Amino acid sequence: MGGHAGLQRRLGLPGAVVVGIGSMVGAGVFTALGLAAARAGTLLLAALAVAGVLAWINATSTAQLAAVHPTSGGAYTFGRRQLGPWAGFLAGWGFVTGKSASIAAMAYTFALYAVPGTDGTARWVAVAAVVLVTGVNLLGITRTVQATVAIVVPVVLILALVVVAGLASPGPDAGHGRAEVGSPGADPGLWSVLQGAGLLFFAFAGYARIATLGEEVRSPRRTIPRAVFGALAFTLVLYVLLAVALHRTLGVDGLATSASPVRDAVALLLGPDWIWLAVLGAALASLGSMLNLVAGLSRTGLAMAREGDLPRPLAAVSPRTSVPWVAQLVTAGAVIVLLLSADVLTVVGFSSFGVLVYYAVANLAAFTLTERVVRAPRWLNLAGALLCLVLALTLPWVSVLVMVGVFAVGLAGRAMVVWRRGRR
């Protein structure tokens, strides 16, 4: 496997849309709606609207940038080219650290659904899942898309079944449709809506995967914007319908206190004998998210290595499969270390903070573009950056403090590297 080959443009519009949908309709939707309902209560749809609006603003900025800069790296590359190397590193570091935690959490979620049992068994099943998706990605982007189609289709069909059954159901008992004082969904306000939106936003974040793979998309100036907005529109409609169906089936309190709302809804609507359907959907969705996260993360690592912000060997690309194979193997290794050494379910908040910083940089980079491929006012970019930072600050304070420390370490490390290069 050589280190001088470049990536090839093998991804058309249908494949790019599939990558976006596969990244968004992931395991997060099986839990995020319940977590958001515990904070937003009766204003869950308002929280979903805020998350959807922010996702659309970010998608506009991402599509704009990716059309002008159709190369690997996503917001790392955009920030570097539009704002300078330090801004680019900030975005790339947030993506690499945050999404590594996301992959580990997705792998562990898959294991908990696939083999409920002891923690030790679940961890090793999670490791096997990481090895599996890494192996598929190493076969090339076309194999990644084919595997994503095989995963996304049954997941969407399962969620569609829940939507239809939920909308057709008579709803919960009258006493369950309204939050009681002191319950998780009681007295929601603006802060509650923002917290709910912060959690729900990450069910939308996968459209950036299309931009991250920009160097492998055919006719990127036309294809990337269409793929980003097409994938996001499909997912937004699905999420709204699912939120309404779950709210109608479980009620405010039931949704707010459920760790697995889709599973609980299936048990109520179809009976306990059909719980396996929800388990299958969650397991497949976890694999789909992991598959596309590994692909996107390795491309960001490739871009950072090309510029010297990560070790240069990570830029090696296989001439046969056109895959950044070293970056993919290193990504898998880092995720496996996380799985075996940490309680990965506690680092989801860290991932959220990192990705919001990533999108804030993308919005600021889009604001500086002189070439506007996607028609949108410049103030929308600034609004997106501000809203990203606001939602980041609504996350649990532990997550905020830890990730501020992680960013400080990364920036200090880069400063040391720059200083040493200057001395040479």
What would you measure as the largest C-alpha separation in the chain, in angstroms? 73
- pLDDT tens digit string along 38-71? 888 888 889 999 988 998 898 888 888 888 887 7
Mean pLDDT, range 313-321, rounded to an integer: 84
Is residue 175 pLDDT above 60, yes or no?
Answer: no
Closest CA to 365 of 156, 87, 24: 87
Q: Name the more confident of 176 and 334.
A: 334
Closest CA to 353 of 315, 381, 321, 388: 388
Is residue 361 pLDDT above 90, yes or no?
Answer: yes
Mean pLDDT, range 240-266, rounded to an integer: 86
Is residue 4 pLDDT above 50, yes or no?
Answer: no
Is residue 348 pLDDT above 50, yes or no?
Answer: yes
Across 45-55, b (16+ Cβ under 10 Å) vs e yields bbbbbbbbebb
Is residue 219 pLDDT above 90, yes or no?
Answer: no
Is residue 213 pLDDT above 90, yes or no?
Answer: no
Q: How far apart are CA 206 and CA 378, in angstroms?
A: 23
What CATH code would you report for 13-423? 1.20.1740.10
Contact 67/220 with Cβ under 8 angstroms?
yes
- pLDDT tens digit string along 111-152? 877 776 666 788 888 899 999 988 888 887 777 777 778 888
Q: How far apart are CA 80 and CA 97, in angstroms?
A: 18
How confident is the model at residue 347, as a pLDDT? 66
